[in-house]
Amino acid sequence: MSKLARDHRNSDVIKIQIARKELNLPDDEYRAILVAQGGVDSSKNLTHEGRQRVLTYLQKQGWKPKASTKPKRPSRPTPKADALPLVKRIRAQLISLDRLPDTYADGIAKQMFGDEAPQFFEWCPIRDLERISQALTYQQKRTGAATK
């Protein structure tokens, strides 16, 4: 089973357990639902289709899943108009270097400018963006990556 499939399975099983607790289902009634909807007596043994049937059934019984309270991943900031061409160039260089993430450029900024470096490379002044681009150009030449 792949990691993604395992994560989905675990997420579904947790949802089933939360619904069971919120609906105050006694154990024998819960097991009867699992047998009727999925053909097994344990939520861990349910197939994907069985988990979906059980979740649908529990929602029809009145359980409402709550939205996640986990904070969303922060999005990248929008650079200023005068810095936009350099930011696009840096992102193109990162792509040519085996699709490195933007956080790689953040790390370069942190290493080059120390504590003065902003959290995101997009917030750097133009002269610092040029230096980040130069460092990436050097790395492109060293690794033999495409430079155009």
**Does 145 score more than 80 pLDDT?**
yes
Look at residues 81, 80, 123 and name the one whose alpha carbon lies nearest to residue 132.
123
Helix pair 3-22, 48-60: axis angle to 10 deg: 30
Across the chain, mean pLDDT equals 91
| Cα 40 from chain centre | 32
Report residue 7's pLDDT band, with 50, 70 and 90 as the boundaries: confident
User: Model's pTM, two decimal places?
Assistant: 0.53
Which pLDDT does position 52 carry in this prediction?
A: 93
Distance, CA of 143 to CA of 148 (rounded, Å): 14
Report residue 146's pLDDT band, with 50, 70 and 90 as the boundaries: confident
CA distances for 76 relative to 4, 64, 73, 110, 112, angstroms: 25, 33, 9, 16, 20
DSSP 140: H
Which pLDDT does position 16 carry in this prediction?
A: 93
Share of the chain above pLDDT 90, in %: 69
List pLDDT tens digits, range 60-103.
999 998 887 777 777 889 999 999 999 999 999 999 999 889 99
List pLDDT tens digits, range 9-36.
999 999 999 999 999 999 999 999 999 9
Report residue 126's pLDDT band, with 50, 70 and 90 as the boundaries: very high
